[in-house]
Amino acid sequence: MDENGATEPRHIDPENTPPGAVAAYGRWVVRWRWPVLIATLALAAIAISGVRFLALEGDYRYHFTADNPELVAFEHIENTYTKIDNILFVLVPASGEVFERDTLDAVRWLTGQGWQIPYAIRVDSLSNFQHTTATADDLVVADLVGRDTAMDVASLQNVRDIALAEPQLAGRLVARDAGATAVNVTIRLPDGGGDEGEPARYANELAEQLRDAHPGMQVAVTGSIPLIYAMMDTPQRDAAVLVPIMYLVLLVAMFVFLRSLWAVLGLLLMIGLAAASAMGAAGWLGIPLSPPMGSATTIILTIAVADGVHLLVILADHMRKGQDRRAAMVESLVVNWHPVLLTTITTVIGFLSLNSAGIPPFNDLGNVTAIGVAAAWVLAVTLLPAFVAIVPYRARPLRVAARFSADAFSGWLIRHHRRILPATVVFSLACAAFIPTIELDDSFIDYFDETVPFRADAELALKTLSGIYQLHYSLGAGSDGGVSDPRYLASVAAFAAWLREQPEVDHVNTLSDTMKRLNKNMHGDDEAAYALPASRELAAQYLLLYEMSLPYGLDLNNQVDVRKSATRVTATVDNLSAVELRALNARAMAWLAAHTEPAMHGSGASASFMLANLSRRSIDSMVRGTSVAFALIALILVLSLHSLRIGLLSLVPNILPIVIAYGIWALVVGKIGMVFAIVTASSLGIIVDATVHFMSKYVRARRVHGATAEAAVRYAVATVGGALLTTFLILAAGFAVLAMSTFKLNEDFGLLIALTIVAALAADFLLLPALLIRLDRSGAGRPMEIASE
């Protein structure tokens, strides 16, 4: 008897290739290897040809469904007034003083050039600000810094005094300390969506020209258009760098673990075709290329490796036992068909659950990745066997240390399972305790690495002038022409005053300030008359006179609707996180509800506010979608293992890795954003891989060979332990490559998935065997020693 009290083990030969459909299929593939290889390559080529239909989706509205409340509010404001999208140039002179000839010349030049930016409909700056003055009974409206403006010291000081005292300029187009100024270009992309890249690239070219013409001047390019363009462009640039690195990492890892050049070439061909076929399928299906889709190729390349590794490891094992290459491949197909197909199905289910996120690009990512995973399975059971049957593949002898390690490890598991089980449970519970401390938040500026120009520009703008985020409120007056009602204007002014009191708000743009200035002008520029007009009739006359004096492109359509029944109040805020932006808007809505008429009630809207709500809504939806996916995977495991008890036990190592990964993330990082919505669904199908392969061998040992739980664990470790270790280490290394991304969504996604995979490997090699030995006592069983397959 051994130290566990068991009798001496009895040797049992490994299972022979059973007759059946899979074996017949394997023999057919091997026999017709050249036609199979050629046909597979031809079909892959047809799929890949769809890439010519791939189109870049440059409209950030694609991230939102048509019924998204924030998108509906955003489009309502854009349809009521002019468009909201903008490019903001921030100019910081080396002297630290804006009101000097060189800087004002730069502002005038950039103001003129701003109209040349594609889709520009309005340009606002110090130079073309419509300054109003009174001359006798006339209202004079003119550029603050026109072509004829004198540049002597007195004139510049006068412009400085006017600008810093004007609420519409100070804090918005000129810093309150006069250390920076801005030129704001309003962009109207074509209806039905447009490419933010075109105006953003043009703006960057203008900034470069300005830097060359004015050495020492800092020029930042920010605003909603550059923000969205950076979110589109950065993942694409990452893909150009990371995909080759991914191939290199996979190449090195596969060669280290498989030690065969032919095996590595076969796997590279398989995974490359799987990824390319998925992208081609996206083209055929009309799925556009959006930022999340940039990581689809990397994900598919990594996941596709698993199928091939399982086949090649078992192939090599049988060849070492004396079988020829082609017969061994048939054996490998028989052994792996069921578990590989099962893991493909569960992985596909996991990625398809991303459709519940309610974010079209994430839906596309899930669908295309699912297609790639399915394509990888098809290629693994067609192209790879045919390729191996053709090339002179040879299995290198297994190192004695490797054989000893598997046997020694399983022996250690059996001896210490009583300690492993509680230790693993305690560690998992400790990790779970940290999960509630995770802060669910997004900071869009922090999406970008410090090396990304947009982040540096946004931080420079915040430091010298203001944040780049805005909240727009459409305040209804209740009737046509109602914007001239003094009571309504008083409510607008009160709301603007409340916004200015908020610590997050840098500037407020409101019609009430314009009306106060016009009232002062029409009273001989008397400062005492800087107040709202006393009657509706006066306010309407002032407004009409002012509008008739404004030049083309600088009208009040950005603030007042056509029927004069509503105005827009715009708050420019610091570079807030998603939670902070939502909190500010909630306070603003509460103030409006408490202090104004119902027609003025409503939520703020902007591109940044839509993004701020995107993660919250997607997480809520993904909880439901992931729950359904997990239930389906659980059902599949129970049915495939033909046991409710064993099926439920196998769920434990598929839940705990996610718990452990998030617990460690909470402890080390403490904050997570939109990626939270997709990691669980994406990792769920992947981590089932080890469980399925381990449990398939364990159940076979128990049922076919009548083994005890201890002997069945030893058998499972001996047969699939090496393949699982190889597969999961390659998967972890592949996803860890994403940690090199300059785009935080990709970086966090890669790190979390890699962490989850490592936790899954530990759970399947430690917790699952301990659970089975402890709890699976059905049937008498007998101790035995089983040779690996």
* CA distance readout (Å), 643 to 157, 638, 648: 86, 6, 8
In this predicted model, what pLDDT tens digit does every residue of 588-617 receive, in sequence order? 999 999 999 999 999 999 988 998 888 777
Structure tokens at 196: 């933010």
* CA distance readout (Å), 484 to 388, 455, 520, 534, 555: 81, 41, 16, 10, 17
Could you tell me the maximum CA-CA distance found in the chain, to the nearest angstrom? Answer: 115
> E strand or H helix at 421, and its extent?
helix 400-434
The DSSP symbol for 534 reads S
Given the structure tokens 């801005």, which residue do they identify?
Answer: 182
Comparing C-alpha atoms, which of 441, 512, 508 is closest to residue 673? Answer: 441
Q: pLDDT higher for 689 or 599?
A: 599
pLDDT interval class at 384 (50, 70, 90)? very high
Comparing C-alpha atoms, which of 340, 396, 394, 348 is closest to residue 372? Answer: 348
pLDDT (average), residues 618-627 = 80
Return the pLDDT at 251: 82
**Winning range, highest mean pLDDT, from 633-642, 725-734, 763-772, 777-786:** 763-772
**Winning range, highest mean pLDDT, from 344-353, 473-482, 643-652:** 473-482
β 671-672/439-440 pair status: parallel
The DSSP symbol for 765 reads I
In this predicted model, what pLDDT tens digit does every residue of 16-33 receive, in sequence order? 444 589 999 999 999 999
pLDDT interval class at 194 (50, 70, 90)? low
Beta-bridge mates of residue 448: 743
Q: What distance in Å separates the CA atoms of residue 561 and residue 123, rounded to the nearest whole number?
A: 19
Q: What distance in Å separates the CA atoms of residue 675 and residue 357, rounded to the nearest whole number?
A: 11
pLDDT (average), residues 425-452 = 90
The DSSP symbol for 764 reads I
Structure tokens at 632: 């389906």
Structure tokens at 267: 């796997």
Return the pLDDT at 8: 35
Return the pLDDT at 117: 96
In this predicted model, what pLDDT tens digit does every residue of 20-77 receive, in sequence order? 899 999 999 999 999 999 999 999 999 999 999 998 776 778 888 888 999 999 999 9
Terminal CA-CA length for the chain: 26
pLDDT (average), residues 759-779 = 86
Q: pLDDT higher for 684 or 227?
A: 227
Is pLDDT above 50 for 401?
no
Mean pLDDT of all residues belonging to the chain? 88
Return the pLDDT at 24: 93
Return the pLDDT at 539: 95
pLDDT interval class at 201 (50, 70, 90)? very high
The answer to whether residues 577 and 440 touch, using CB atoms and an 8 Å cutoff, is no
Q: What distance in Å separates the CA atoms of residue 586 and residue 552, rounded to the nearest whole number?
A: 37
Is pLDDT above 70 for 11?
no
Structure tokens at 542: 């002032």
In this predicted model, what pLDDT tens digit does every residue of 208-262 receive, in sequence order? 999 999 999 999 999 989 988 898 888 878 878 887 887 788 788 888 878 889 9
With vertex at residue 445, the alpha carbon angle to CA 170 and CA 364, rounded to the nearest 5 degrees, is 130
* CA distance readout (Å), 177 to 101, 166, 220, 510, 547: 17, 13, 18, 22, 31
Comparing C-alpha atoms, which of 357, 575, 364 is closest to residue 461? Answer: 575
What percent of the chain lies above the pLDDT cut of 90? Answer: 56
**Sequence-distant (≥ 6) Cβ neighbours of residue 735 within 8 angstroms:** 299, 302, 749, 750, 751, 753, 754, 757
pLDDT interval class at 778 (50, 70, 90)? low
What percent of the chain lies above the pLDDT cut of 70? Answer: 94
**Phi, psi values for residue 325, rounded to 5°:** -55, -45
The answer to whether residues 71 and 61 touch, using CB atoms and an 8 Å cutoff, is yes
Q: Rounded to an integer, what is the distance from CA 453 to the centroid of its chain? A: 19
Is pLDDT above 70 for 1?
no
Return the pLDDT at 661: 94
Q: What distance in Å separates the CA atoms of residue 600 and residue 598, rounded to the nearest whole number?
A: 5
Comparing C-alpha atoms, which of 195, 263, 270, 206 is closest to residue 229? Answer: 195
In this predicted model, what pLDDT tens digit does every residue of 720-743 receive, in sequence order? 888 888 888 888 888 888 888 888
Is pLDDT above 70 for 761?
yes
Return the pLDDT at 40: 96
- For the chain, what's the residue count? 789
Q: Rounded to an integer, what is the distance from CA 310 to the centroid of its chain? A: 31
The DSSP symbol for 170 reads B
**Winning range, highest mean pLDDT, from 106-115, 411-420, 621-630:** 106-115
For the chain, what is the radius of gyration of the CA atoms?
33
Is pLDDT above 80 for 782?
no
β 138-143/130-135 pair status: antiparallel
Is pLDDT above 70 for 585?
yes
DSSP for 735-749, written as a single string: HHGGGG-SBHHHHHH
The amino acid present at 328, given as its one-letter code, is A
The DSSP symbol for 13 reads P
- CA dihedral sign, ordered 128, 129, 132, 138: positive
Given the structure tokens 């004002």, which residue do they identify?
Answer: 104
The answer to whether residues 312 and 726 touch, using CB atoms and an 8 Å cutoff, is no
